[in-house]
Amino acid sequence: MKIFYETTFLKAKYTNQMIERFSQVEFVREENQSLDCEAIIAMPGFLKKINLDRYHNLKWVQLLTAGYDRIDLDYFKRRNIVLTNAKDVFSIQIAEDVFSKILYFNRNLKTHIANMEDGIWKYIPARYEIAHSTVGIIGTGSIGMEIAKRMKAFDTQVIGYRKTPKQLPYFDQIYHNSVGLDQLYKESDYLIVAIPLNEHTHHMVNEQAFKLMKKNAVVINIARGEIIDQDALITALKNHSIRGAGLDVMTPEPLPSQHELWKMDNVLITPHNASSSPFVNQRLITAVMDSIYRYIHHLDFNNRVI
């Protein structure tokens, strides 16, 4: 068996683990030596039709990301190519990032940092706590589950939205239709977007959604920028229809330096950085090796997309 792997993201320190574990596999990292490969391990940018058309023996692709919104899924279906993703690799650090954004607003950190720089000692009362609040999570996959798990430690009511009904650990209530989604918007003190981007979720959080939200609601988006109607979000923030927004993703990316979101006092922006972790590469190669083992031994994937 022959596998081509991209080296853009993974360092040799980690890919060597993979190569040493699967001595029966021929791993190649040069494209001109890889066209007869049966499998590819790569970032979404490589997985375009113009590249994949050259691989006539291709049966399986392992993504090095959890998101697959940039992948032409119909192409994979037409060619009967299995697609798996890195679904659990980024969940822990993204869940932690959510709390950093909520606490930024709740603990007046922007003002405290500014005062610290100027040497100003000033008591500023905190008006919000996470405890005893209602947390709405749109998307109950790996990331949503890790967020919910940690939210329960803060003594919160956790509600979630998914496209099909199912009771899940750490969630007090799961909604699955448009009526339930509207209810989630109404109830949530913190609304966290953690759902994949597709034709059904594009602009899911729109003008009508913001009209349903509490005025003290904080919106956190660590999924994809296009899930939120950004113009509607800006209007809600300007009108103080919601308290604030913590955005790790937005439209477009990178966000232009003169974009008005940068200047808004009730916005925290991080540059698609929520998945950053000192452990991400090890988690990623461990997940990749698990997928290779399952492929070789004809076992079911737990991260199969197509």
pLDDT tens readout for residues 241-259 = 999 999 999 999 999 999 9
| Percent of the chain scoring above 70 in pLDDT | 100
Mean pLDDT of the chain: 97
Residue 7 has pLDDT above 90, yes or no: no
Measured between alpha carbons, how far is 224 from 201 in angstroms, rounded to an integer?
10
3-state secondary structure at position 79: helix
DSSP per-residue codes, 141-194: SHHHHHHHHHHHHTT-EEEEE-SS----TT-SEEE-SHHHHHHHHHH-SEEEE-
Q: What is the pTM of this model?
A: 0.93
Residue 11 has pLDDT above 90, yes or no: no
The one-letter amino acid at 155: D
Half-sphere exposure of 99 (CA within 13 A, CB side): 16
What's the pLDDT at 123?
98
The one-letter amino acid at 273: N
Count of H helices and E strands in the chain?
10, 12
- Residues 194, 144 contacting (CB under 8 angstroms): yes
pLDDT tens readout for residues 158-216 = 999 999 999 999 999 999 999 999 999 999 999 999 999 999 999 999 999 999 999 99
* Domain architecture of the chain: domains with CATH: 2-89+278-296 (3.40.50.720), 91-269 (3.40.50.720)
Could you give the residue numbers annotated as active site?
224, 253, 272
Residue 9 has pLDDT above 90, yes or no: no
pLDDT tens readout for residues 56-109 = 999 999 999 999 999 999 999 999 999 999 999 999 999 999 999 999 999 999
Measured between alpha carbons, how far is 97 from 280 in angstroms, rounded to an integer?
14
Measured between alpha carbons, how far is 27 from 230 in angstroms, rounded to an integer?
43
pLDDT band at 8 (very low <50, low <70, confident <90, very high): confident
pLDDT tens readout for residues 93-102 = 999 999 999 9
Alpha helices per DSSP H over the chain: 12-21, 49-52, 73-79, 91-106, 109-118, 142-153, 178-187, 207-212, 230-238, 280-296
- β-pairing, 60-63 vs 157-161, is unpaired
pLDDT tens readout for residues 206-223 = 999 999 999 999 999 999
What's the pLDDT at 10?
84
What's the pLDDT at 167?
93
Asked, as a colleague might, if the bond just before 256 is cis with ω within 30 of 0, I would say no
Torsion over CA: 183, 188, 191, 195 (sign): negative
